[in-house]
């Protein structure tokens, strides 16, 4: 049975290899958390759920949901939204290349937008993105 780490890596590679996204998010693309003092905006990819679908006793599909969001240290969400829009362009109706799986479907299921305030410094982090369903089948 392949590991969904291959799906994680393929999703991150898809985003990190896009020149336009690299320009919009010069801080980079990271799994779960960016290194301290990373330049903003940057992109975070976090797996939020995983579900196995079975067909007559064998595994047919895996559904993996990811929170993919831009994080920007600004008072406005404009730059973070531009990054989120580019992520949507890259992930909607595409396939991923990965070891052990065949990509079946990628689609955004919901949008995410919120502001996080660091009370100690009154800095405002803009978060924009979405929850994406990535459906794969073991190859």
Which domains, ranges and CATH numbers included, belong to the chain?
5-138 (3.30.2000.30)
Mean pLDDT of the residues in the chain:
92
C-alpha closest to that of 45 among 35, 36, 32: 32
More confident residue, 17 or 1: 17
The pLDDT score that the predictor gives to residue 15 is 97
The pLDDT score that the predictor gives to residue 51 is 86
Rounded Cα gap, residues 46 and 67, in angstroms: 5
> Is 70 exceeded by the pLDDT of residue 33?
yes
The pLDDT score that the predictor gives to residue 58 is 67
């Amino acid at each position: 049975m392949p590991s969904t780490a291959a799906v994680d890596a393929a999703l991150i590679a898809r985003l990190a290899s896009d020149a336009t996204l690299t320009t919009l998010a010069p801080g980079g693309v990271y799994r779960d958390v960016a290194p301290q003092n990373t330049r903003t905006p940057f992109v975070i990819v976090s797996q939020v759920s995983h579900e196995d679908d079975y067909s007559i006793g064998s595994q047919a599909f895996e559904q993996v949901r990811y929170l993919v969001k831009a994080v920007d240290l600004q008072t406005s969400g404009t730059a973070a939204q531009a990054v989120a829009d580019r992520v949507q362009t890259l992930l909607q109706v595409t396939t991923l290349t990965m070891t052990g799986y065949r990509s079946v479907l990628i689609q955004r299921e919901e949008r995410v937008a919120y502001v996080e305030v660091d009370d100690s410094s009154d800095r405002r982090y803009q978060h924009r993105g979405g929850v994406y369903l990535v459906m794969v089948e073991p190859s």
